[in-house]
Amino acid sequence: GDLVKARASAEGSTKLIRTGKDLKSYSGFLTIDESTDSNLFFWFFPAQENPDKAPVILWVNDIPGFSSVVGIFLETGPFELEENNVVTDRNVTWTKTHSMLYIDAPVGTGFSFANNENAFANNSDEEAIGIYEALKQFFILFNEFQPRDFYLAGETYAATLIPYVQKKQFDDAMSQGLVEFNKGNIQKASELFWTTVIGPGSLLENTTGFLDWRSALMDKPLLDESKFLKFIDSKEIHNYLHVGLHKFMNGDPNVYTRFTKEFAGAHEDLIQEMLDRGYRVLFYSAQFDLAT
User: What is the domain-level CATH number for residue 169?
Assistant: 3.40.50.1820
112: number of Cβ within 10 Å: 28
Q: Does 208 map to a domain?
A: no
For residues 261 and 89, give the distance between their C-alpha atoms in angstroms, rounded to a whole number: 39
Q: In sequence order, what E strands does the chain have?
A: 11-13, 24-33, 38-45, 56-60, 79-81, 87-89, 99-103, 150-154
- 210 located within any domain: no
Give the mean pLDDT of 36-41.
96
Q: Is residue 134 part of a domain?
A: yes
In a domain? residue 55: yes
Q: How much is the pLDDT for 207? A: 54
Beta strands 99-103; 56-60: pairing state = parallel
Q: In what order do the strands lie in the sheet with 24-33?
A: 11-13, 24-33, 38-45, 99-103, 56-60, 150-154
Question: Is the predicted pLDDT of residue 29 greater than 60, yes or no?
Answer: yes
Q: Which residue has the higher pLDDT, 102 or 251?
A: 102
In a 3-state reduction of DSSP, which class is residue 261?
coil
Amino acid at the residue 27 = S
Answer whether residue 32 shows pLDDT above 90.
yes
- State residue 192's pLDDT score: 44
Q: What is the pLDDT of residue 13?
A: 61
Residue 282 lies in a domain: no
Q: Are 164 and 124 in contact (CB under 8 A)?
A: yes
Global pTM value = 0.79
Residue 63 pLDDT more than 90? no
pLDDT at 83 > cutoff 60: yes
Residue 84: strand, helix, or coil: coil
- In this prediction, residue 179 carries a pLDDT of 34
Q: Is 108 helix (H, G, I), strand (E, B) or coil?
A: coil
177-226 per-position pLDDT tens digit: 333 334 444 344 444 444 444 455 555 555 555 555 455 555 555 566 77
Alpha helices in 186-286 (DSSP H): 186-192, 203-208, 225-232, 235-241, 253-256, 268-276
Do 101 and 42 contact (CB within 8 A), yes or no?
yes
Residue 13 within any structural domain of the chain: yes
List the domain range (segments joined by +) for residue 110: 2-190+223-276
Q: Which residue has the higher pLDDT, 10 or 224?
A: 10
Q: Which residues contact 118 (CB under 8 A, 6 or more apart)?
A: 36
**φ, ψ (nearest 5 deg) of residue 40:** -105, 130
Evaluate whether residue 204 is within a structural domain: no
Amino acid symbol at 12: G
Q: What is the pLDDT of residues 91-118, one digit of tens each?
A: 899 999 999 999 999 999 999 999 988 8
The CA distances from residue 240 to 94, 107, 184, 191, in Å, are: 22, 21, 46, 37
Residue 81 in any domain: the answer is: yes
Angle, helices 2-10/124-141, rounded to nearest 10 degrees: 110
Number of domains in the chain: 1
